[in-house]
Amino acid sequence: MTYRVCLVCMGNICRSPMAETVLRRTLDEHGLGERVAVDSAGTGGWHVGDPMDERALRTLSEHGYDGSAHRARQFTSGWFDRYDLVLAMDRDNLSFLRRIAPDGVEVLLFRSFDPAARAGAEVPDPYYGGPEGFEEVLRLVEAASEGVAKHIADEID
Instruction: Return the active site residues.
Output: 9, 15, 125
Closest CA to 17 of 4, 28, 27, 8: 8
- Do 149 and 27 meet the contact criterion of CB atoms below 8 Å apart? yes
- Looking at the DSSP bridge assignments, the partners of residue 4 are 37
CA distance 31 to 150: 11
- Do 114 and 81 meet the contact criterion of CB atoms below 8 Å apart? no
Closest CA to 15 of 34, 154, 36, 47: 47
Residue 76, amino acid: T
- Do 60 and 145 meet the contact criterion of CB atoms below 8 Å apart? no
